[in-house]
Amino acid sequence: MEHERDQDSKSALNFEENIRKTYNSRICKSLQNANNFVRSANECNESETRIAALGTTRDDSQGKYPNDINEPCGEVPSPSNPSGRGDHQSRLTTHTSFHENRVVGTLHPQILVINSGSSSLKFSLLDPESTNISAYGIAERLRTAQASLRLTDLHGAKREENLPAADHHVALLRAIEILSENAPLEVRAIGHRVVHGGEYFRRAALITDEVLQRIEDLVSLAPLHNPANAQGIRVATELFPGKPQVAVFDTAFHQTLPPHAFHYPIPYNYYERYRVRRYGFHGTSHQYVGQEAARRLGKRFDEVQLISAHLGNGCSVTAIRFGKSVDTTMGLTPLEGLAMGTRSGDVDPNLHLFLQNHAKLSLQEITDLLNQESGLRGVSGESHDMRMVAAAAAKGNARAALAIDIFCYRAARAILGLAAGLTAIDAVIFTGGIGENDVAVRAKVLEHLTILKPKLDPHRNKQHGKESGGRITADSGLQCLVIPTNEELMIANETVRLIS
């Protein structure tokens, strides 16, 4: 076993070295030419094209950062820094500081969107103005012998490669090389999905050394996600020195929750010291489909009241009142709320003590069980994938059928509960991998919502609303819409907004 690990390690080193050599010979010259062009344009159009990174200096007289990008700022406690004080100097090891970032207004390259996970890296290259995605791909099972890269390049050709033991850096490096085979890859800026922004970030932020450190300060709230998100930022900084980068936070849209919705009924000092509260997630998705629903309803986003159900491997439901999130099902972490692919959602907090005493499990083992071995996977005993669970249920597997029933009932119960934050419901939205594609799940959820009087149209539902503007219910009664999410476009739009 030790010999195999040594071989994997040597394979990774050799593989990365080969890629670096190729990258240096075929890419660096193009990037250098592009950078020379950027410098030339900057010299000619200094006043018009230089965009200083926001938030690198503090306006002490106001106690916040210029342009009011995010509040609260300054001495805000976090779970890993309860006092709110600490060393906020740069942790970057690259040679280019974020405050040197600039963009050239005369060029029209695209936005690179990166979603860096713990063992995967998704990316897409798109033009926010046309909403066209030029290229996209995913590297999976990183740091294992089965690591691989799949992408669709700028010409629409599909590519797939094995990258044994590759990490995030090697995977992104290889993707850039493929996308640059015929011409230099022109990237205007990089937008990153970041899962947890705590109370620091009420909206997207141009990445500075301090912003990156604050993302890392929140690791205790998102231990699987924020470290990977930060790593994606560092890799992009190394591969695209001088390019502006923007962090778009899953939690930011939910920073409008009122205190009665985000506080837990526990001793208040835990909020004051550790910022223990409900944060919510999938905010980028909920915001996108909410805006799209308003457009389809012929209204402004700040005129509608909606309930958005993001159903996928991770699931959450959000109440949107006049353009703002007012309640949501996920909480301090993404574990709270609905039954999901591998996550339990809501359980009795005393379950931890019960399992510790009777099953002799440690607190970490119980936490892992609730996050990784529960939900559809735990109940069905088959899979975390709804398609696999549905197939098993169709063959008479009672546990698989039960898993689906629990999933749908808890989603419906959440929708009804969140209605408490609204005065009316203009539409219920289904989105996410399951919400957009599973006809039976949508129908079963609506069966539990009879009190709201939705009139499901079986034909529209079967067509996923594609022939009826997304609507899957009859023309009268509660409007229920299927709206595919587009988090990448939201991230790209936010990136352009901040660098412009």
CATH 3.30.70.1710 fits 2-75+90-249, yes or no: no
- Active-site positions read 250
Q: What mean pLDDT do residues 35-40 have?
A: 36
- Look at 73 and 247; give whichever has higher pLDDT: 247
Q: How confident is the model at residue 229 (pLDDT cuts 50, 70, 90)?
A: very high
What is the distance between the alpha carbons of residues 239 and 280, in angstroms, rounded to a whole number?
32
Report in angstroms the alpha-carbon separations of 358 from 299, 347, 351, 352, 361.
55, 17, 10, 10, 8
What is the distance between the alpha carbons of residues 296 and 290, in angstroms, rounded to a whole number?
10
pLDDT score, position 56? 30
Q: What is the pTM for the complete model shown? A: 0.78
Q: What mean pLDDT do residues 135-144 have?
A: 91
Instruction: CATH 3.30.420.40 in the chain: give the residue spans.
Output: 2-75+90-249, 297-489
Closest CA to 180 of 23, 32, 18, 36: 23
pLDDT surpassing 60 at residue 370: yes
pLDDT surpassing 60 at residue 423: yes
Please give the CATH topology (third level) of the domain spanning 297-489: Nucleotidyltransferase; domain 5 (3.30.420)
Least reliable range by pLDDT among 174-183, 335-344, 380-389? 174-183
Q: How confident is the model at residue 204 (pLDDT cuts 50, 70, 90)?
A: very high
H or E segment and range at residue 482: strand 480-482
Share of the chain above pLDDT 70, in %: 78
Sequence-separated contacts (24+) of 288-296 with Cβ below 8 Å:
288/485, 288/486, 288/487, 288/489, 288/490, 289/429, 289/431, 289/483, 289/485, 290/320, 290/323, 290/429, 292/483, 293/426, 293/427, 293/429, 293/470, 293/481, 293/483, 294/323, 296/469, 296/470, 296/481, 296/483
Most confident by average pLDDT, 39-53, 128-142, 298-312: 298-312
What is the distance between the alpha carbons of residues 483 and 128, in angstroms, rounded to a whole number?
19
Q: How confident is the model at residue 446 (pLDDT cuts 50, 70, 90)?
A: very high
pLDDT score, position 160? 96
**How many other C-beta atoms are found inside a 10 Å radius of the C-beta of residue 145?**
14
Six-digit token string for 419: 């209605």
Indicate the burial class of 341 (C-beta count within 10 angstroms; 0-12, 13-18, 19 or more): buried
- Look at 224 and 134; give whichever has higher pLDDT: 134
